């Protein structure tokens, strides 16, 4: 039948054991790095000082970053705040300077330029706020995974749900592990990107599972592993096009979006690549390993239904 013809005949699941070994090694590396090195948390989580400045004209962010990096405020995060004349500077915690001293030093460094600079506010963000954000962010991921578990179980079957959740945990662990290994700053924008990766990866997995369920109903006398391979091949072009189009946008953010969203774009790039991989080599093999079969997706027939339907 024409319906069952696919443009590609790749035996994806023929290398599932190799893929499993690669994934296990990446997860071990991620967890080990997280335990040993931890994450380089940004001011959103660690606390610090927020400074707002107002310029008479458009502020030169690169110049401001350069001046601050050559001072005791190395690593300060600088961004526009509302308009190109308003600037927000986020500084790491400093025990040797209070707000007044920080304000005076910032004005000393930046107030000698051609443009007039006005100090709007200097505000300390406590570490307690940061710990609450870290806790809330962790809870947000747990709630998201729990909701997905219920959704996939209701829409498909519990074995599919477990496969999807294992894939999402795989993606989240490796994405966070990348930031631990690289030492890149982990802030709220990166956390938002991790949550976005969960949604992206789930969407890709759901498309594959939809086709698997459809093929289980239509293809007879075929083993489950062959059904999964056929389904993966049939959805391959859609997966490639979606991932490619999304990556183009994220790469544009990475190269032209500025330093303030560099971490956000990096997390999305890693997450998209890993999420596409896990939809093929994690979600499907795990579901197969749990013993999914055609009978699991067939509606349950009630006893006496045939007799009741007769006139």
Are 71 and 105 part of one and the same domain?
yes
CATH classification of the domain holding 256: 1.20.1640.10
Sign of CA dihedral 231, 278, 210, 296: positive
Residue 55's SS3 state is strand
Mean pLDDT of 180-206: 87
CB contact at 8 A, 285 and 19 = yes
The number of folded domains in the chain is 2
CB contact at 8 A, 40 and 186 = yes
Are 160 and 174 part of one and the same domain?
yes
CATH classification of the domain holding 84: 3.30.70.3400
User: For the whole model, what pTM was predicted?
Assistant: 0.77
pLDDT tens per residue, range 76-119: 888 887 778 888 888 887 777 888 888 888 888 887 767 788 88
One DSSP character per residue, 81-100 reads: ESEEEEEEEEE---SS--HH
Q: Is residue 311 part of a domain?
A: no
- Identify the H or E element spanning 108: helix 99-110
Instruction: Give the whole-angstrom CA distance, residue 32 versus residue 177.
Output: 9
Distances (CA, A) of 47 to 50, 115, 300: 9, 30, 56
Say which residue, 42 or 179, is predicted with more confidence: 179
Sign of CA dihedral 56, 58, 59, 63: negative
Are 116 and 137 part of one and the same domain?
no
Are 262 and 159 part of one and the same domain?
yes
Identify the burial level of 78 via C-beta atoms within 10 angstroms of its C-beta, where 0-12 means exposed, 13-18 middle and 19 or more buried: buried
> Using alpha carbons only, how large is the chain's radius of gyration in Å?
26
The pLDDT assigned to 298 comes to 61
CB contact at 8 A, 212 and 280 = no
Mean pLDDT (the chain) is: 82
| Residue found by looking up tokens 């997995």 in the block | 205
Are 277 and 170 part of one and the same domain?
yes
CB contact at 8 A, 197 and 268 = yes
Q: Order of strands across the sheet with 48-55? A: 77-81, 83-91, 48-55, 117-125
Q: Is residue 72 part of a domain?
A: yes
Instruction: Give the whole-angstrom CA distance, residue 43 versus residue 131.
Output: 11
Q: Is residue 261 part of a domain?
A: yes
Q: For residue 22, how many other CB atoms are within 10 A of its CB?
A: 13
The pLDDT assigned to 307 comes to 47
- pLDDT band for position 3 (cuts 50, 70, 90): very low
Q: Is residue 1 part of a domain?
A: no
pLDDT tens per residue, range 234-255: 888 888 898 899 999 999 999 8
Above 50 in pLDDT, residue 59?
yes
Are 171 and 197 part of one and the same domain?
yes
Are 179 and 194 part of one and the same domain?
yes
Mean pLDDT of 202-229: 85
Domain boundary among 125, 150, 179: 125
Mean pLDDT of 284-306: 68
Domain boundary among 65, 97, 125: 125
Are 163 and 220 part of one and the same domain?
yes
Q: Which residue from 99, 10, 113 is spatially nearest to 59, judged by alpha carbons?
A: 113
Are 112 and 210 part of one and the same domain?
no
Q: Which residue from 203, 189, 174 is spatially nearest to 254, judged by alpha carbons?
A: 189
Q: Which residue from 209, 204, 269, 274 is spatially nearest to 239, judged by alpha carbons?
A: 204
CB contact at 8 A, 60 and 117 = no
Q: Is residue 310 part of a domain?
A: no
Q: What is the dihedral of CA 16, 278, 276, 151, to 10 degrees?
A: 130
Instruction: Give the whole-angstrom CA distance, residue 132 versus residue 68.
Output: 29
Instruction: Give the whole-angstrom CA distance, residue 145 versus residue 167.
Output: 11
Domain span at 276: 8-39+129-297
Q: Is residue 302 part of a domain?
A: no
């Amino acid at each position: 039948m024409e319906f069952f013809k696919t443009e590609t005949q790749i035996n994806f699941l023929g290398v599932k054991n190799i893929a499993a070994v690669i994934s296990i090694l990446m997860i071990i590396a991620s967890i080990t790095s997280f335990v040993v090195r931890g994450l380089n948390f940004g001011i959103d989580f660690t606390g610090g000082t927020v400074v707002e400045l107002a310029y008479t004209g458009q502020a030169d962010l690169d110049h401001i970053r350069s001046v601050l990096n050559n001072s005791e405020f190395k690593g300060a995060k600088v961004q526009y705040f509302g308009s190109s004349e308003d600037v927000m500077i986020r500084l790491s915690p400093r025990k040797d300077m209070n707000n007044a001293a920080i304000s005076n030093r910032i004005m000393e460094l930046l107030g000698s330029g051609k443009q007039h600079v006005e100090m709007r506010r200097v505000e300390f963000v406590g570490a307690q706020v940061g710990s609450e954000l870290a806790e809330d962010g962790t809870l947000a991921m747990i709630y998201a995974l729990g909701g997905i578990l219920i959704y996939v179980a209701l829409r498909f079957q519990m074995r599919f749900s477990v496969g999807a959740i294992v894939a999402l945990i795989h993606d989240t662990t490796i994405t966070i592990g990348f930031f631990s290994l690289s030492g890149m700053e982990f802030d709220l924008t990166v956390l938002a990107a991790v949550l976005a990766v969960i949604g992206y990866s789930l969407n890709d997995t759901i498309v594959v599972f939809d086709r698997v369920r459809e093929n289980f109903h239509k293809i007879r006398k075929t083993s489950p592993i062959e059904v999964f391979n056929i389904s993966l091949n049939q959805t391959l072009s859609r997966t490639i096009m979606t991932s490619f189009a999304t990556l183009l946008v994220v790469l544009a953010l990475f190269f032209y979006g500025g330093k303030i969203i560099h971490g956000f774009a990096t997390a999305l790039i890693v997450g998209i690549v890993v999420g596409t991989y896990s939809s093929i080599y994690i979600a499907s093999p795990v579901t197969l390993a749990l013993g999914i079969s055609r009978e699991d997706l067939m509606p349950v027939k009630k006893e006496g239904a045939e007799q009741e339907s007769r006139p």
